[in-house]
Amino acid sequence: MNPKIFEKLKTLAEAAKYDVSCASSGTTRNNPVKNLGTAAGWGICHSFTEDGRCVSLLKIMLTNHCIYDCGYCMNRRSNDIPRSTFSVSELVELTIEFYRRNYIEGLFLSSGVVRNADYTMERMVRVAKDLRLVHKYNGYIHLKSIPGASRELITEAGLYADRLSCNIEMPSEASLRIIAPDKNYQSVYRPMHYIQQGFLQSAEDKKKYRHTPRFAPAGQSTQMIIGASPDDDNRILHLANALYQRPAMKRVYYSGYIHLNTYDTRLPALPTPPLVRENRLYQADWLMRFYQFKVDEIVDEKHPNLDLEIDPKLAWALRHPENYPVNINTADYETILRVPGIGVKSANLIISSRRFGRLTSDHLKKMGVVMKRAKYFITCNELQAFTVQEAGSEYIRRALTAPPKKKKDEEQQLIIGFEYDTPRNP
C-alpha cells in the first residue's frame, strides 16, 4: 500500500466535506450471483461525525485541483491549500476495502475541475466503471456530474451510478454570476437535463425490453447554499418546488453557508452558519414532499421568509385558524396531516385505529402525537378544549415559543413542607 494514501485521504476527504448529500436510498440492488454488495431500498448510516451528520457513503474528491474560482468553495484556485489527486486504482481499492468492513454503504465521488469538464468527468466515470465491471461491485455509487460535461459522458455515468447530482449552488442566477463567475445556470441545467432524459429513456425502454440497463435508478439530486446570497426563502423554495416537478429529481439539499474564504468581500461574513434557517427550509421541503403542502402556502410575497421561531407547519396553521379545530374522529387524512404535532406516522395510526372506536386525547398521546402543539388544533371524543378559536393565534405562538419554565425550586416562593403536587422526578 502506498504510504502517501493517508495524506491523500485526509486532503481529499476534507475537500469533499461541504457536500451535504448523504443519501444512499432510492435504489434496490440485489446480489444474485454472489458478488460484493447490495443496495437496500433505504440507506444505512454507518457512522456519525462530531457535527452529527451521518456517514453513509465514502464522500471523497478525485482531486482538489480546480480551475474555477468560486467564492464559497474551499478548493478554489486562489486558495493556498495542499492539493492531491487519487489514481483510479487507489480510490477503487479504498472503496472496496471500506465496503468489505461494513464501514460504508458506497461511494460518493466528486471532483475539482482539471483541464476541462469532460476530462474530469471521464476520470470519474472510469472509477465507477472499474468498480462495477472489474470488481463486480454492487453497492451504491453517487457520482457528481461536473457542470458543463457532455451528454455522452453523463449517459455513460448513468449506467454505472445509482444517483447523479449536479449542484445548482446559488438560488438565483444573478448571485451565481457574482460569486462563481466561471459558472452559469446553463452549465448546471444542461447536465441535469441530460440526466433526466437518460432516466426517462431508460424507463421507456424498460417497457419494451425486460433487461434494459438501468440509468441512475436513484435519480438525481442537487444542492443550494443558504445565506451566501441575499435570496429569500420564497425564491429558494419556489426554485426547489420547480426542481421537484422534474421527473428524476429526488432531493434538493440546503447547505448553511460557512464563511471559509474570509478575504472574499463578495460574501457575507456570517459568524456562524445559519443552521436554524437551514432546518426550517428542510421542514418546508418535507411539507412539500410528504404533507401535501403547496409551495405558495408556505411562503409568498407577503411572507418571503420562513419564521425562525416556529416551524412552517405551525406557522401556516396560525395564519389559517379558520381551518381548525379538526375533529380527529371524522376528518380526512389530508386534514389531519395538517395539524401541528401530528406527523405522517401518527396520522396513519389515527386513520387505521378510529375504525375500531372513538379516539381520545389519551390514545393520541400514546400514539406519539405531540399534544403540546396538537391540543390547540383538534377536538376528539371529549369536552371542548381551549383551541385556536378561543385562544387566538398570537396566544398560541407565545405559549409555544416561551422559554421552558424554571424549575420550581428556583422560584422565589414560600415552600410549605409537603408536596401537594405530583412529584417532578418519580
Partner 1 sequence: MIPPVTPKSPKEDFVSAKYSTSPPPTPPSGGWGVITRYFIYDNTFDGLLTCVFDAFNRKEFPDRIVGENTQLPLFTESFTVITDETKSDRVLKALREKISRSALDMLFIDYLSESDDTTIILFRYIRKALTSEFSIEMNFADPDVLELSKIYKKVTREEERMRQFVRFQKTVDGIFFAVMNPIYNVLPLSARFFQNRFADQSWIIYDIRRKYGLYYDLHTVETVQFDHLEIAAETGKLTPEKLDDYELAFQDLWKDYLKAITIQERKNLKLQRQFMPKRFWKYLTEKN
Helix (H) or strand (E) holding 418: none
Tell me the three cell numbers of residue 231.
435570496
Give the helix ranges, DSSP H, for 253-321: 275-290, 295-298, 312-319
Q: Is 49 in the site for partner 1 (CB under 8 A)?
A: yes
Q: Which span sits near partner 1 by CB under 8 A: 51-59, 114-122, 142-150, 412-420? A: 51-59
Separation between Cα atoms, residue 81 and residue 83, nearest integer Å: 6
What minimum distance in Å lies between the beta carbon of 426 and partner 1? 17
Q: Is 34 in the site for partner 1 (CB under 8 A)?
A: yes
Closer residue to partner 1 in complex, CB, 59/183: 59
3-state DSSP assignment of residue 56: coil
What minimum distance in Å lies between the beta carbon of 46 and partner 1? 6
Q: Which span sits near partner 1 by CB under 8 A: 155-163, 302-310, 357-365, 408-416? A: 357-365
Beta strands in 219-325 (DSSP E): 220-226, 249-256
Q: Is 118 in the site for partner 1 (CB under 8 A)?
A: no
Give ∠ CA 377-378-380 in degrees, rounded to 5: 165
Q: How many residues bind partner 1 (CB under 8 A)?
A: 56
Q: Which span sits near partner 1 by CB under 8 A: 32-40, 229-237, 288-296, 308-316? A: 32-40
Closer residue to partner 1 in complex, CB, 58/124: 58
Tell me the three cell numbers of residue 101.
468492513
What minimum distance in Å lies between the beta carbon of 37 and partner 1? 6
Interface characters, 74-103, with partner 1 (x: CB under 8 A): --------------------x--xx-xxxx
What minimum distance in Å lies between the beta carbon of 36 and partner 1? 5
Tell me the three cell numbers of residue 249.
429529481
What minimum distance in Å lies between the beta carbon of 151 and partner 1? 32
Q: Using the rule CB under 8 A, which residue among 41, 51, 419, 425 binds partner 1?
A: 51
Q: Is 38 in the site for partner 1 (CB under 8 A)?
A: yes
CB 267 within 8 A of CB 70: no
The count of C-alpha atoms lying within 13 angstroms of the C-alpha of 52, restricted to the half-sphere facing its C-beta, is: 1
Q: Is 367 in the site for partner 1 (CB under 8 A)?
A: yes
Q: How many helices (H) and strands (E) does the chain have?
A: 16, 10
Q: Across the strands, what pairs with 58?
A: 107
Q: Is 301 in the site for partner 1 (CB under 8 A)?
A: no
Q: Is 365 in the site for partner 1 (CB under 8 A)?
A: no
25, 26, 31, 37: CA torsion to nearest 10: -30
Q: Which span sits near partner 1 by CB under 8 A: 43-51, 203-211, 243-251, 394-402? A: 43-51
Separation between Cα atoms, residue 40 and residue 112, nearest integer Å: 30
Instruction: Output helix, strand, coil percentages for the chain, rounded to the nearest 5.
Output: 40, 10, 50
3-state DSSP assignment of residue 141: strand
CB 154 within 8 A of CB 190: no
| Positions in 265-294 near partner 1 (CB under 8 A) | 272-273, 275
Q: Using the rule CB under 8 A, which residue among 59, 280, 313, 373 binds partner 1?
A: 59
Contacts with partner 1, residue ranges (CB under 8 A): 1, 5-6, 9-11, 13-14, 16-18, 30-31, 34-38, 40, 44-55, 58-59, 94, 97-98, 100-103, 256, 258, 272-273, 275, 349, 352-357, 359, 363, 366-367
